[in-house]
C-alpha cells in the first residue's frame, strides 16, 4: 500500500494507492491543497479513482467537488451526507475496492451524523471520530455525544489494539497513534461509562470554528467559496500594481480609464485622479451606455481589491477585452499617500 499523509495546518489528508495497479484514493482533501495532491499523485504514479470524505466538515473547505469535476474521481461519503454531489453513498460494513486494496467503512456517528472511519489492512482513518489524545467535538450541527460514545466503545475501539490510527486533524504536529495507545492514555476514553462521557462532551465549551457558515454552505451544497470565486476571476485577468499606476499618472502617460466601482458616498469622499464611477451593483446595466467602446483600456478598482477583481472579470466576459484590475485597492492607495481627487483629502 502506498500511503501518504498530507498536512495543511491542523488538517490531515491521505493519498492512498495500490502498489500493483496504481489505483488510488484521496481522503479528506482540503481545497487550498488541490495542486499539491495532484502533483503528489503524479509523482507517486497514482491515479485517483475515489475522493472519500470521512464526514461533512465544518472547519475547512473540502476539495471533493473540485476534484470530482477536474479529474473525474468519484466522490464517496456516508449515505447520511447532505451533499447532493456524492457519487457513491456507502454504509456501515461495506467495502470499496481500489486496485487490490479494500477499504471497509464503519459508520461512526457522533461528531456528525455522517461520520465514518475507514479501515485499510493494519490501519484506520478515523476522521474526527477519534483524534490523538482527544475525540471530535459533538456540539456542531448533527453532533451527538451519545452516538459518539456508542461509535467509540461499541465499534471503533473494538478494532485490534495494534491498529494504527490516522485522524483527520492534529494541531500538535503528530502523525498517528494506535487503538491500544488511545485506549490506555486518551483522557476522554477514560470516561467509559456513557453518562460520564456525555457529560464531559457537553461541558467542553469550545469556540466555534472560523468560517463555520461558509464551510457548511459550500461542503453541503458543492457551491463555491468566496476565495474560489476570487481565484477563478483572477485567473483570467491581468492586474496593474499601485506603483505602476502612480508612475503612469505622474508622468502623464496614463492611457487607462480608471473605473471606481465602490458605492457613491465612498466615491464622493475621494477617489483616484480622474476616475469615473459606476457602482458594482449597477455595472452590467450601465456600462454599455457609459463606456460604449469595448476596446477601452479600463482599470477597475474598489476599496480592497476584491470586488474589482470580480467586476473586471465581468467586463472581460462582456467583451471589454482590455479590462484589468488594480492589484490592491483604494485603501492601500490612500495608505501609500498617493494622489487623490475630490473629498477632504484632495
Ligand atoms: Fe470535522
Beta bridge partners of 103: 96
CA–CA dist 267, 340 (Å, integer): 11
pLDDT digits (tens, 9 = 90+) for 146-185: 999 999 999 999 999 999 999 999 999 999 999 999 999 9
Would you state the pLDDT for residue 98? 97
Q: How close is the Cα of 177 to the center of ligand 1, in Å?
A: 18
pLDDT band at 342 (very low <50, low <70, confident <90, very high): confident
Sequence-separated contacts (24+) of 86-93 with Cβ below 8 Å: 88/50, 90/116
Say which residue, 210 or 99, is predicted with more confidence: 99
- Cβ atoms of 133 and 160 within 8 Å: the answer is no
Q: How close is the Cα of 208 to the center of ligand 1, in Å?
A: 12
Nearest Cα residue to 191 out of 225, 228, 157, 234: 157
Over 50: is that where the pLDDT of 346 sits? no
* 56, 113, 150, 183, 278 from 109: Cα distances, Å: 11, 5, 9, 19, 51
Over 50: is that where the pLDDT of 83 sits? yes
CA–CA dist 27, 102 (Å, integer): 14
CA–CA dist 254, 59 (Å, integer): 45
In the chain, % of residues over pLDDT 90: 97
**117: which 3 cell numbers?**
472511519
Q: How close is the Cα of 133 to the center of ligand 1, in Å?
A: 16
Average pLDDT along the chain: 96
Q: How far is CA 32 from the centre of its chain?
A: 6
Q: Which domains does the chain have, with CATH numbers?
A: 2-223 (3.60.15.10), 227-335 (3.40.250.10)
pLDDT band at 253 (very low <50, low <70, confident <90, very high): confident
**263: which 3 cell numbers?**
458605492
Rg over CA atoms, the chain: 26
CA–CA dist 27, 177 (Å, integer): 18
- pTM to 2 decimal places: 0.88
Q: How close is the Cα of 111 to the center of ligand 1, in Å?
A: 7
Q: How close is the Cα of 213 to the center of ligand 1, in Å?
A: 14
Q: How close is the Cα of 186 to the center of ligand 1, in Å?
A: 18
Q: How close is the Cα of 215 to the center of ligand 1, in Å?
A: 11
Would you state the pLDDT for residue 345? 45
Amino acid at each position: 500500500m502506498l500511503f501518504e499523509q498530507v498536512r495543511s495546518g491542523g488538517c490531515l489528508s491521505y493519498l492512498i494507492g495500490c502498489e500493483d495497479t496504481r489505483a488510488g484514493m484521496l481522503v479528506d482533501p482540503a481545497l487550498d491543497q488541490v495542486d499539491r495532491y495532484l502533483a503528489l499523485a503524479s509523482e507517486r504514479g497514482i491515479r485517483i479513482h475515489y475522493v472519500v470524505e470521512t464526514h461533512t466538515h465544518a472547519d475547512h473547505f473540502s476539495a471533493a467537488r473540485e476534484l470530482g469535476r477536474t479529474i473525474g474521481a468519484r466522490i464517496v461519503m456516508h449515505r447520511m451526507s447532505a451533499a447532493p454531489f456524492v457519487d457513491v453513498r456507502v454504509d456501515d460494513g461495506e467495502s470499496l475496492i481500489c486496485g487490490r486494496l479494500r477499504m471497509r467503512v464503519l459508520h461512526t456517528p457522533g461528531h456528525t451524523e455522517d461520520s465514518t472511519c475507514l479501515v485499510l489492512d493494519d490501519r484506520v482513518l478515523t476522521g474526527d471520530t477519534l483524534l490523538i489524545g482527544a475525540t471530535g467535538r459533538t456540539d456542531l450541527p448533527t453532533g451527538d455525544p451519545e452516538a459518539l460514545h456508542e461509535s467509540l466503545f461499541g465499534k471503533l475501539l473494538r478494532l485490534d489494539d495494534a491498529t494504527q490510527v490516522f485522524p483527520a486533524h492534529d494541531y500538535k504536529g503528530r502523525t498517528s497513534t494506535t487503538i491500544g495507545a488511545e485506549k490506555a492514555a486518551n483522557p476522554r476514553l477514560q470516561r467509559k461509562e456513557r453518562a460520564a462521557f456525555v457529560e464531559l462532551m457537553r461541558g467542553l465549551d469550545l469556540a466555534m470554528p472560523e468560517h463555520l457558515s461558509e464551510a457548511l454552505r459550500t461542503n453541503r451544497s458543492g457551491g463555491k467559496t468566496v476565495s474560489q470565486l476570487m481565484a477563478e476571476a483572477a485567473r483570467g485577468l491581468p492586474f496593474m500594481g499601485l506603483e505602476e499606476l502612480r508612475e503612469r499618472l505622474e508622468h502623464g502617460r496614463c492611457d487607462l480609464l480608471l473605473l471606481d466601482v465602490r458605492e457613491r458616498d465612498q466615491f464622493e469622499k475621494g477617489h483616484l485622479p480622474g476616475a469615473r464611477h459606476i457602482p458594482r451593483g449597477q455595472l452590467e446595466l450601465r456600462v454599455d451606455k457609459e463606456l460604449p467602446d469595448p476596446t477601452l483600456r479600463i482599470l477597475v478598482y474598489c476599496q480592497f481589491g476584491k470586488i474589482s477583481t470580480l467586476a473586471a472579470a465581468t467586463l472581460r466576459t462582456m467583451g471589454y477585452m482590455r479590462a484589468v484590475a488594480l492589484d490592491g485597492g483604494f485603501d492601500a492607495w490612500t495608505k501609500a499617500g498617493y494622489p487623490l481627487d475630490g473629498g477632504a483629502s484632495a
